[in-house]
Amino acid sequence: MATPISPDSEQPIVIHPEIQGEVDIDVPVSELPLPPDIWPSTRGPIVTMARPAVSPAPPEFTATESKRAFGLDALRGLFLVTMTLGFTIGSDIFPAWMYHRQMPPPDYGVVDLPGISWRDLAYGAFLFTMAAALPLTLSRRISKGETELGIVFGAIRRYFMLLVFALLIGHSNTYLTGYTQTTRVVSIVGFVVMALIFTRRRSDWNVERHQMLNRAGWLLAIAFLAITPLLYGKSFSFNRFDDVITGLAFASLAGSVIWYLTRDNLTARVGVLGVAVALYLGARSEGWVQDWWWSSPVSWAFQPSWFTLLTIVIPGTIAGDMVLRWMRSTDSGAVPLAWTRGRVATVAALATALTPIAVVGLYNRAVQLTTQVSVALILAGVILTWRPSSSTERMLRSLFVWGGMWLVLGLFLEPFENGIRKVPDTLSYFFTMAGLTTMLLVALTALVEVLDHRKWVAPLIDVGTNPLLMYVLFTILINSALELIPPMRDVLQASPGEAILRSVIQVTLVVLVVRYFTRKQIYWRT
Amino acid sequence: MPAVPEWRERVIRAVAIVAIVYAMYWIYWRWTNTINTEPGAYVASVVLILAETWAFINMCLFVMLTWRLTERVPPPAPRGRTVDVFITCFDEPLEVLRRTAMGARAIRYPHRTYVLDDGKRDEVRGMCEEFGIGYIRRVGSRNAKAGNINYALSVTSGEFILQLDADHVPLPTILDRMLGYFDDPQMAVVQAPQDFYNVDSFTHVVNDEGRRLWEENRIFFSLIQPGRDYWNASFFCGSCGILRRSALEAIGGFASQTIIEDMETTIQFHAHGFKSAYHRETLAYGLAPGSAGAYHVQRMRWGQGAMQVLRKLKPLTMRGLTLPQRVAYFAGAICYFEGWQKAIFYLMPLFFFFTGILPVAGSQEAFLIRLFPYIILCTLAFELLSRGTGYLLLSERFTMVRIWTYMLAALAIFTRKPLKFNVTPKGHSSVPRSAYMPQVVLLVLSIVAPIWATIAYSQGWISYRTQGWGSMAFWMNGLWALWNCYFALYVVRHSLRMKQQRDDHRFAEQLSVEVQLADEISAPAIPAMTMDLNPAGLGFRSTTRVEPGTRVYIELPLRPARIRTIGHVRHVKEESSRLGTVFMHGVEFLDVPIETRDVIELYCTQHSMTVWRLKYRQSIDILTRAGEVMRNLRGQRRRLAGLPAKVYLTGAGDTERVEVDAKLILEEMSESGARFVGTAPIEPGTTITFDVPGARVSGTGVVRHVQALQTSVSVLFSMGVELNTAPVASRGWLPRFGKRNNGHLISSESQNGDAHIS
């Protein structure tokens, strides 16, 4: 069949082969066999496997970190309740000390008044407790073998989630969207959307269903942000956000990174604090720092002026380190305390007393007296906490000393910038808040861990372990739900007494709801 | 792709109609209400709406082409017909051609195989003599591939011609499955999908854990071609198609007016009243472009050829074609103008940031309230109509990849000069800078533009104020630029990463083997699993490290014969995973006899590739996907293991264990399940225990399902095992980065039925 092969490449070559293939095919092969099923009932590459029944949730800590910082949870809960109480005061017939110091009635506009009121404590304290929890969270992740990149990306992820949270609250809060029936319904829808996104799966919940709801929540969130503003005559805006949460987001990100990089070097962390203070001071005078400090094209996501928050975030992480060291210690609970219960109770009382003294004194501008009394109490506390022998005592002393130092720093800085202010915030405010919050942490830790009165603060602990839910409930849900029914808007608003009663009822309601969910192990998490 | 139920088809068509009606309204509204007539904005405004209108026209054509997909049942192949198999080649690597020639020779239906050698290489002729297949070499190379085939037609006589490109290895059943369509005397051409064995190519996206495979061409071969088939407008794609000789003679042979002779030839068939058919079953595997460079060469040829079709054949007015055929060919050709349309979309945010001019008039509320439903409906319609082949994000990525090539190709509409037929490079190839430089420029500009705009705004240079629009214009364009950045970044990274380093492809193959060190023959063999294989070497995974340079003996349990190979380890890579530390080795064979090479070659092409494909899904439509997400069948992440395992059947009392007499591989494992692949099945319901030597991975569970993976060469069994362990915490939607657990305890090992890794 073949023509001769020519060595000349310019000549065509054609070589014909023999017929190939199975020439004697008898069976029609148009229907060639497909892969058979070995057992017909089990066809298909994917089979739903029976899932085991409820399993215990994985432990929160490894063996060396088996304790939980209930004092910190209680502290967070305390300030959340304080915030709720302040937020639910709707009447304008109270005395000025019931409001933010720089936003007094009747206009609630920002005025140039030095001092702080009890309502000014919550913001700084909230940041502090968040920062104090960072060492605990991050160290747990490190112990699980998370990489450096993982830690950083985890912090960025949380930052992003908090920004989304802030935008959702901003577009749900009637304070920002207007007090109409439409916006109240939108608030409630916003709450549902947030619930879908931020509710952590309980260990016995169906994984698929939870994931489905979570993803549906994200899709709904996009639709919610895009469409619902049109219902009340606006459009989506990045400038409609909850500034407390955005500040918290930045503090979380910056705090995580700073703590991670300086976890073994306290001096470096204090150095970073010095840099933050320097930037703050630089921004007080004209120049490039000031120009930069107040400029941001994405103010909802980042503002250079937020670096001020480091003055409370870094003290928070330092307190968190002390709590972490205590949690990792092995002697707690096994070694009896050298201090008597009375001594610990006195320390707790001193630490607690500092807050009302500072607030009342600074509100009434008795700055010198407040400083003198505070320093005296701090010195007394330092003496009382002398020579700690167990890890719990060491933690209480360290916290007390550091708290005293921050408070003294804040009080000494008080005359600078013409007095302490929350709006606009001053260095004195942040350091004073760091001091007072640390002192309250001392008091609550002593109460829970040494004096063994956890039950006294159990509601606060429950609230403190579920902060996001608490925050959303009091910022957007309760008021919107109540005011949706017109008669409810004016109930218990006639006198200060009635307004307080109404506020207390609302706070109680919120706390009960949060407690219920916490007890049911249903948490909102980023 | 599995057939879509009729009720779903109705839903898909209903959504498509709603989307078209709404899109029509949107375009009407855009033209009548949103043209910005301010100086400087007018031109940009009209250009943007023109681009949107072009997108709308394409959408209508897409709906038409995908309205109904034809599912054909192949008639039995007629006996006694004569078939010639043509393999056209030019300069492809000999290994590639050899593989194809072997595959063609092994086709089951009686046939004659010819290699049509336009490269005029004596080594090709020698190979043909070795295999006993035909060889045709013409003088000159006029009309490139079309001329090559036409010359072969003149010296052969088969009634039918199976045309294969040099890289397309046919399965033995290819003629059996496709020849029956020619019972219809008007049938001129039957085309099968072009599928590819180099799944690490530039155009493939593989998800190993999810067992999903996507290839850029799938949208054409799994969707457009079956859709065209409904209108009798499917066309020959140059390879993997059978043509009737008498039909070719009726139209004067292979058409050669353009550089896409395949489409042109089919147009001529249709114009002469012949029919075409599309058979939706992979019957050959070829080589997809291995790098960005090869991809752009291929797409440039297709695009320029399409322009020639538009200019020379004028399909919309061509005599002999039916109306749907005219529209279908028109749609097939004009899709290459997509480059210009997309360029307008990509550049518009930059225009806004650099000039402050918004090319849209009216209020933002009115615009956005219409825009969002438009986007949602169009996206939904696209996802539904694509029936699982056209994932929006993946499609958009490749749209960005080819934008510059398509823009250049579309310019060919203006040229009358003959265009050069550039063969798509096979094997080792590099990445020219032009393959990604336009995207680099776009990326840089998209990053710089918002920064510039921020400065310009703060300095008061540009106000960025448009009547009816607040800051939303800034943010919308910012998001748009960010979207473009994402795709541009993907293109740059993907292009730079996807250099084909090997001259020849390695096939993924999992064989349980034992590696014997040649210099320590008395030492126990190392249990291992092959990762990939070809006649030049293999890769294997083991829990024991073998140093580079070590000579090793490996017996490969191939079918029909076991093969002993000797090679040396070229490189070792360590991989830490939850399952412990695993070493991946690359081995180069030494002194492989030609018979051994051929056995490996056939095994790889006819078994390894097919089995691998059986494990992966290529088309998952959005409704199925949504259902799976909601049910989340697996619940947990399965981590790839890829290690040989010892499996024991466990008695009722858990006291007696019998080792399973089969080679089994632990493919993947989570805390609640595992998958094994082996040469023998285990009956569902059987309780087994297993361990992986060296890795200390072990567990107990119950076999839940078995699936046979059968090819013409061998059969394997895939078994899913349920382990009785606690489910891990749910993974959030957002990724958690960098989790690492270097072989630590995953779960308690104290209870029976737990999987544990210590």
Q: What is the DSSP string of B105-132?
A: HT-SS-BEEEEEESS--HHHHHHHHHHT
Q: Which residue of B has its CA nearest to A235?
A: B365
* Residues forming a β-bridge with B85: B113, B162
Handedness of CA B93, B94, B99, B103 (dihedral sign): positive
Tokens of B708: 């046979």
Rounded-to-integer distance, Cα A246 and Cα A225, Å:
17
Q: pTM score > 0.90 for this model?
A: no
DSSP 3-state assignment of A255? Answer: helix
Cis ω before B315 (30° cut-off from 0):
no
Q: What pLDDT is attached to residue A7?
A: 46
Mean pLDDT of B604-632: 74
Give the pLDDT confidence score for residue A382 in this predicted structure. 92
Q: Average pLDDT over chain B, rounded to whole?
A: 83
> In this predicted structure, which of A361-375, B50-64, B255-269, B597-611 has the lowest mean pLDDT?
B597-611
Neighbours of A21 (CB within 10 A): 21
Largest CA distance in chain B: 88
B705 chain-A contacts, CB cut-off 8 A: 42, 44, 47
B139 contact residues in A (CB cutoff 8 A): 10-12
User: Which pLDDT band holds residue B289 (cuts at 50, 70, 90)?
Assistant: confident
Mutation pick from B151, B455, B705 vs chain A, by most beta carbons of A within 10 Å, is B705
Q: Is the pLDDT score of B301 beyond 60?
A: yes
Q: How far is CA A4 from the centre of its chain?
A: 86
Helix %, strand %, coil % of chain A (to 5): 65, 0, 35
A8 shares contact with chain B (CB less than 8 Å):
no
Question: Could you tell me if residue B719 is left (phi over 0), alpha (psi between -120 and 50 degrees) or otherwise beta?
Answer: beta
How much is the average pLDDT of A18-47? 42
Residues 18-57 of A with CB under 8 A from B: 18-23, 25, 28-39, 41-52, 55-57
Q: What's the half-sphere exposure (Cβ side, CA atoms, 13 Å) at A480?
A: 27
Long-range contacts of B363-371 (CB under 8 A, 24+ apart): B363/B468, B363/B469, B364/A235, B364/B468, B364/B469, B364/B470, B364/B472, B364/B473, B365/A230, B365/A233, B365/A235, B366/B33, B366/B468, B367/B34, B368/A226, B368/A230, B368/A235, B368/A236, B368/B472, B369/A227, B369/A230, B370/B26, B370/B29
Which residue, A428, A322, A327, A321, is CA-closest to A374? A428
- Encode pLDDT of A207-220 as tens digits: 888 888 999 999 99
CA–CA separation, B171 and B456 (whole Å): 63
Q: How much is the CA Rg of chain A, to the nearest whole Å? A: 31
pLDDT in tens, B628-673: 666 555 555 566 777 788 888 876 555 667 877 777 888 888 777 8
The confidence score (pLDDT) of residue A60 equals 31
Shortest CA distance from A526: residue in chain B: B732
**Residues making up chain B, counted from first to last:** 758
Position A330 scores a pLDDT of: 62
Q: Are B723 and A200 in contact (CB under 8 A)?
A: no
How high is the ipTM of this complex? Answer: 0.71
Report the share of chain B in percent with pLDDT over 90: 30
Torsion of CA A416, A422, A425, A431, to 10 degrees: 70
- Which class for B95: exposed (0-12), middle (13-18), buried (19 or more C-beta within 10 A)? middle
For residue B287, is pLDDT > 90? no
Put simply, whether A214 touches B (Cβ < 8 Å) is yes
Residues 6+ apart with CB under 8 A from B326: B315, B316, B317, B318
Question: Cβ B684–A41 below 8 Å, yes or no?
Answer: yes
Q: How far apart are CA B629 and CA A210, in angstroms?
A: 11
Res A41: pLDDT = 29
Task: Choose between A513 and A95: higher pLDDT.
Answer: A513
Cα–Cα distance measured from residue A318 to residue A147, given in angstroms and rounded to the nearest whole number:
23
Enumerate residues 350 to 409 of chain A having a beta carbon within 8 A of any beta carbon in chain B. none
Burial A267-279 (b: 16+ CB within 10 A, else e): eebeebbeebbeb
**Is the distance from CB of A257 to CB of A162 less than 8 angstroms?**
no
**B542 neighbors B658 (Cβ within 8 angstroms):** no
8 A C-beta contact, residue A275 and residue A314:
no
Residue B455 Ramachandran class (φ > 0 left, ψ -120 to 50 alpha, else beta): alpha
Q: What is the tens place of the pLDDT at every residue in A53-86?
A: 222 222 333 333 446 788 999 999 999 998 888 8
Q: What is the pLDDT of residue A118?
A: 87
In this prediction, residue B18 carries a pLDDT of 94
pLDDT at A61: 30
Return the sign of the alpha-carbon dihedral for residues A475, A478, A481, A484: negative
* Dihedral Cα A80, A83, A85, A87, nearest 10 deg: -140
In sequence order, the 6+-apart residues with CB closer than 8 A to the CB of A5 are A13, A15, B125
Decide if A210 and B457 are in contact by the 8 Å CB cutoff.
Answer: no
Q: How confident is the model at residue B503 (pLDDT cuts 50, 70, 90)?
A: low
Taking the C-alpha atoms of residue A252 and residue B679, their distance in angstroms, rounded to an integer, is 54
Banded model confidence at residue B745, pLDDT cuts 50, 70, 90: very low
Nearest to B176 among A14, A30, A157 (CB): A30
Predicted confidence (pLDDT) per residue in A500-523, tens digit:
888 888 889 899 999 999 988 899
How far is the first Cα of chain A from the last one, in angstroms, to the nearest whole number? Answer: 77
First to last CA, chain B: 42
